[in-house]
Structure 1
Amino acid sequence: MKVMNRATFVAGGLLAVFASSVVAQGDVVVGDSVSLSFEGVSPSRAVSWTFDDGSTVNTGTNAAGVFNWSGGVKSFCIQLEENISNGTTVDYDVVELENLPDQPPMPGPLGDARAEVMRDLYARNYDFVMSQTGSDARDYAAAFQVMVWEISHELSADTTDASSVLAGLSINAGQASFNASSNVIGFAQIMLDGLGDGGFLGFSKVIGLTDENRQDQLTVVPGAGALAGLAGVAAIRRRRRRD
């Protein structure tokens, strides 16, 4: 078993490839739409969760890990209380991280502060997580998914700024809490402990995929990163959505 330390793992070449029948990966930008068929969650581990949305306390157990799609696209889910079945095709709109996930259901969009923490999570851990194999791949993928859910669903966290959000995060307490194997929770805690260390890192390559009836997703796209490197994520040019 490999143990991850708190070093920064900058994302490199382990990125999803969009099928040519949809749109070339490097050509995907905010404002596009992409049609993807769901092929299951793997590598993954079972994770139990509790989410208090302010009016109802919901619980469940999900396969937590890498979502696989047609054309080799890989993503992580950012929405606990919607679902999707294998073989389902979804026409996703490509959006900026700040606007994900859609609402209802709760928790609603990340906004600026949560999005900054989410990008830091990706900058420090994504490449490392996606490079793992065997049992380690399952543990680290599940741990990373837990952290995506914790950042997006911990409604008790103060959203004044990224540091305030980070101070309110806890894997096993608060309005969003998670339980899994000791490896998964331990690796998630290491990821949490490393966030904000020396400042919050940017990661312009992660973008959002949203659909009002299916789980919203985060995916990594080099094309978006290349454009954002020149002008910033908010300035990515918008295209006419494909029908």
Structure 2
Amino acid sequence: MSYLSIFFQYAGQYVKTRLSYRADMLVEIFSDFLFQAVNLVFILVVFGHTNLLGGWSREEMIFIYGFFLVPFAVFGAFFNIWDFTDRYIVKGEMDRILTRPIHSLFQIVLERLELESLFGAVTGLIVMFYAGSRLGLELHWYDPFIFIVLVLGGVLVYAGIFISLASIGFWSDSRTDIMPMMYNIGNYGRYPVDIYNKVIKYILTWILPFAFVGVYPSSYFLGRTEWYGYAFLTPVIGAVFFGVAVWLWNVGVTKYRGAGN
């Protein structure tokens, strides 16, 4: 049975399960929407006191935020591994995963699906359309394809960083607060790197490249030619970080000692 077939079977069962508790699902979707709205209001409040921030207008900042929401939503739907160490290492569920003839990371991705998070991508598209119409942006026939490639690159950046962090659990099963902290750092990627000092800009570009989730790929659609090189580097950075993450995961699995040791 192919991995793609397994994925669709898991996704189908997940949808059936969630539809059995429609009220809970609607509350979660509304909560996510409210959280996104609060972040948008924050941007509007900031621009209530200034016309430009680091050379970026309010509509450009809103557009970047909208773009950021799309890869972040896809990541949240398929790579919900923030509690990996606690659930799979400390509580021993990794033992169960390793008895099956399917890649362990793929199994965990399937078990932790949160497909309702994809509604955040819809919100992001709406925000982008609003900001783009205010900016008078024009799309070419190939832009939707570039958009998909850049979004997938952003997803791989996020996935690569958090899979790498989860892999630490194979060497150290102690509970840490690094995952929530990294989620907070990731939010910096939805703002232009120009507004940060050189050290933070470097970190967000090459160490924890969250800038490739929001501002860099957005710059292509905003016509910021000075950032085009970074924009088209997005899928490359995503592939590199994701590849390293999978390698770390595979090495970590060989170091796993089991819950009983």
Q: Same fold (TM over 0.5)?
A: no
- Is the radius of gyration larger for structure 1 or structure 2? 2
TM-score by length of 1: 0.30
Higher-RCO chain (CA-CA 8 Å, sequence separation at least 6)? 1
Flag the structure with higher strand content.
1
TM-score by length of 2: 0.28
